[in-house]
Amino acid sequence: MEHWAILRRVTTDIDRRSIDTIRALAMDTVQQANSGHPGLPMGMAPAAYLLYQRILRHNPKDPLWPDRDRFVLSAGHGSALLYVMLHLSGYGVSMDDLKAFRQWGSITPGHPERDTVHVTPGVEMTTGPLGQGFANGVGMAMAERFLRERFGAVAQDHRIFAIVSDGDLMEGIASEAASLAGHLRLGRLVYLYDDNDISLDGPTSLSFKEDTTKRFEAYGWHVEEVADVNDLEALELAIDRAMRDEERPSLVRIKSIIGYPSPNKQGTSGAHGSPLGEDEVRATKEVMGLDPDKHFDVPDDVAAHMDQSARGAALQAEWNAAMSGWRSEDDGRAQEWDAAWAGRPLPGFAASLPPKWSKDALATRVAGKEAMAAFGPHVPTMVGGAADLSGSTNTLFPGGESERFTDTQAGRNVYFGVREHAMGGAVNGMAGHGGIVRPYGSTFLQFADYMRGSIRLSALMGLPVAWIFTHDSVGLGEDGPTHQPIEHLAALRAIPQLTVLRPADPDETAEAWRVIVEDLEGPAAMALSRQNTPVYDRGEGGLAPASGLARGAYVLREAEGAQAVIVGTGTEVEVALGAADLLAAGGVAATVVSMPSWELFEAQDEAYRAAVLPPGLPSVSVEAAVSMGWARWVDASVAIDRFGASAPGPEVLEHLGITAEAVAERVLGLLG
Ligand SMILES: Cc1ncc(C[n+]2csc(CCOP(=O)(O)OP(=O)(O)O)c2C)c(N)n1
């Protein structure tokens, strides 16, 4: 038990034995899988113990209690620690689940996953790509503040905790998110930084030596320093001071020893990412005074001591009681609350769309703004914003100053600043928190790359978020190839479980918003144009109604005796119509299909798909982007398989061949 020499002020024997049990279970879990990261769980066991045992207001028997404190393990490689804590605190993670760590079909995958496959009770976010969890917590703190201001502190009054590591702090996304959190003074954020001086390649001195205290103070954070994670008293006092500072987010910088108290591997990167090995596990158990022949062993008194079910039930019962009074005070507020937590809009949402458009021709980004203004009142907890491009992406709700999310008020329009990475992570965090209906982030389509990690995670988690990308083709013009997306639609379509939508005109834009808010469970990415498109005449004798968007692709204008089909997306639907007109003038009949979403079309039955794209009928697509992927749907593509160029948009499109003439020619070529 000599390793306890370091534990100068651990209060009780049961504290010590509980923490050692966490360490032993984490070692066993990783050893059994013969894969995983034991070092962080062992080093940070005292911090996790304090959190789950004394600090977090949580109820293991209802992991989705809306007013629970949130905990994000941003250093997702330390998943064994999270699973062990969930098991010991009474969540639905069994000893058998620990034994199935990293195995097919288990609820204890290599990194924590929140999704529809691995439903691990108590896992708030999927983490693993370092830095993402850090940014997720910032979004959660924004959600908590927004909901507390809207519904009152009876309903929402909690904190966001995270364990973040050296790797998290090295990642750029964490810098952006920390800067944003400091700016917004997100005082409910309390991050425990595992400052163990070790990362994967070796000591952090290889690559990381800034003064993190000064850095976070400069961001406007409250920083606490704890010299030794094993000093529970100092640690608890530091966390307590951090929690009391509600004006600033807090970083509790904690010195720990990776792999502690493994006699031969602690303090080295050898304990970071591989099992300690049977012998070292035995030796470590011996150091802790535990029986090395026992595996997955939890003494009865430790199990009873660590089970948080009773404490959690009491906390939630108190909340439930207060909430029933709260509900009866204001019926409308209660209904709004229920809709918010169900992720649903209020009645009247669909009827608000489409609005009466301000002009006959509008950029779809402007149509998006007009649609948001129309449906906004029906989704009062929809929060989002842009990465310093609100004026261009047109994603602000009306309301000006009073709708702004600032350091003193939580409105629904967030100015994320030029921070795409943090915006992505924060929007995911808002969705993960719950209560925010369809949080969204927007920027130019080109910069989707900057936030791709978060977009991918939103898809992996199936989060109900909206990514709104404008300036969606070379048609944006003069800004040139640095700003002109080329491969981005293909890159987004390549992400599984992400629905990509590129509406053709204002009516399709409104319908796309309806589908995103009402129909879709998971994330959506919408591509909107900078340049105008007509509001198509879809009345009697005109083009087909925009409701066809919900099926992914639909016949927009049927040609009798069609010899070919022309498929367009977004602003290129106008090109497709022009091509069909040219062909008609030459006696060739071509049907025009609008195809705003491959994924929605893919989900239709074969009969519908065959009706839209009849097999055997020559087909040509037109989209101002790479041709990659189009062969799945059509025989030939008019596309742009090169970077764009700086010039007025219409000229760029002309030079790169996105014209009605080029499409008509391609159709004629196919027809021989
Ligand atoms: C974005 C990203 N890049 C790289 C990795 C691979 N990786 C996993 S853990 C790790 C080292 C992290 O070191 P640290 O955060 O200090 O954790 P510790 O060694 O203390 O467990 C790396 C590079 C990752 N998970 N995410």
The average confidence (pLDDT) of the chain is 96
- Quote the pLDDT of residue 119: 81
- Quote the pLDDT of residue 457: 98
Atom 18 (ligand 1): residue with closest C-alpha? 199
Ligand 1 binding pocket includes 40 (Cβ within 6 Å)? yes
594-617: average pLDDT: 98
Q: Which of 420, 511, 574, 599 is labelled catalytic? A: 420
Among 165, 176, 198, 257, say which to mutate for ligand 1: greatest number of ligand atoms within 8 Å of CB.
165
Nearest to 65 by CA among 251, 309, 405, 304: 309
pLDDT digits (tens, 9 = 90+) for 582-598: 999 999 999 999 999 99
**What spacing in Å lies between the alpha carbon of 243 and ligand 1's midpoint?**
27
pLDDT digits (tens, 9 = 90+) for 509-555: 999 999 999 999 999 999 999 999 999 999 888 999 999 999 999 99
Order of strands, edge to edge, in the sheet holding 70-73?
70-73, 160-165, 189-195, 250-255, 222-226
Is 2 a residue whose pLDDT tops 90?
A: no
pLDDT digits (tens, 9 = 90+) for 345-377: 999 999 999 999 999 999 999 999 999 999 999
Is 1 a residue whose pLDDT tops 90?
A: no
**What spacing in Å lies between the alpha carbon of 128 and ligand 1's midpoint?**
8
Q: Specify the ligand 1 atom closest to the Cα of 131.
A: 1
Ligand 1 binding pocket includes 194 (Cβ within 6 Å)? yes
Among 199, 201, 256, say which to mutate for ligand 1: greatest number of ligand atoms within 8 Å of CB.
199
Is 420 noted as a catalytic residue in this protein? yes
**What spacing in Å lies between the alpha carbon of 134 and ligand 1's midpoint?**
13
Ligand 1 binding pocket includes 196 (Cβ within 6 Å)? yes
414-435: average pLDDT: 98
Is 115 a residue whose pLDDT tops 90?
A: no
pLDDT digits (tens, 9 = 90+) for 311-353: 999 999 999 999 999 999 999 999 999 999 999 999 999 999 9
- Quote the pLDDT of residue 116: 66
Query: What is d(CA 40, CA 45) in angstroms, rounded to the nearest whole number?
Result: 8
Nearest to 99 by CA among 296, 282, 299, 273: 296
Is 449 a residue whose pLDDT tops 80?
A: yes
Name the amino acid, one letter, at 430: M
**What spacing in Å lies between the alpha carbon of 73 and ligand 1's midpoint?**
12
Are β-strands 532-534 and 361-363 bridged in parallel, bridged antiparallel, or unpaired? Answer: antiparallel
Confidence of residue 134 (pLDDT cuts 50, 70, 90): very high
DSSP character for 69?
Answer: P
Is 3 a residue whose pLDDT tops 70?
A: no
Q: Specify the ligand 1 atom closest to the Cα of 204.
A: 16
Atom 13 (ligand 1): residue with closest C-alpha? 199
Q: Where are the alpha helices (DSSP H) in 152-231?
A: 166-170, 172-184, 212-218
Max CA separation in the chain (angstroms)? 93
Is 629 a residue whose pLDDT tops 70?
A: yes
Distance of CA 390 to the CA centre of its chain: 20
Q: Is 45 in contact with 38 (CB distance < 8 Å)?
A: no
Atom 8 (ligand 1): residue with closest C-alpha? 77
Ligand 1 binding pocket includes 167 (Cβ within 6 Å)? yes
In sequence order, the 6+-apart residues with CB closer than 8 A to the CB of 136 are: 72, 74, 124, 125, 127, 425, 426, 428, 429, 432
Atom 17 (ligand 1): residue with closest C-alpha? 199
- Quote the pLDDT of residue 56: 97
Q: Is 81 in contact with 44 (CB distance < 8 Å)?
A: yes
Ligand 1 binding pocket includes 370 (Cβ within 6 Å)? no
Q: Is 498 in contact with 599 (CB distance < 8 Å)?
A: yes
Both structure tokens of 292: 């090395």
- Quote the pLDDT of residue 11: 65
pLDDT digits (tens, 9 = 90+) for 398-420: 999 999 999 999 999 999 999 99
Q: Specify the ligand 1 atom closest to the Cα of 169.
A: 15
- Quote the pLDDT of residue 458: 98
Weakest-pLDDT range from 3-7, 203-207, 485-489: 3-7
Ligand 1 binding pocket includes 421 (Cβ within 6 Å)? no
- Quote the pLDDT of residue 27: 98
Q: Is 474 in contact with 656 (CB distance < 8 Å)?
A: yes
Is 7 a residue whose pLDDT tops 70?
A: no
Confidence of residue 118 (pLDDT cuts 50, 70, 90): low
Confidence of residue 117 (pLDDT cuts 50, 70, 90): low
**What spacing in Å lies between the alpha carbon of 426 and ligand 1's midpoint?**
20
Ligand 1 binding pocket includes 446 (Cβ within 6 Å)? no
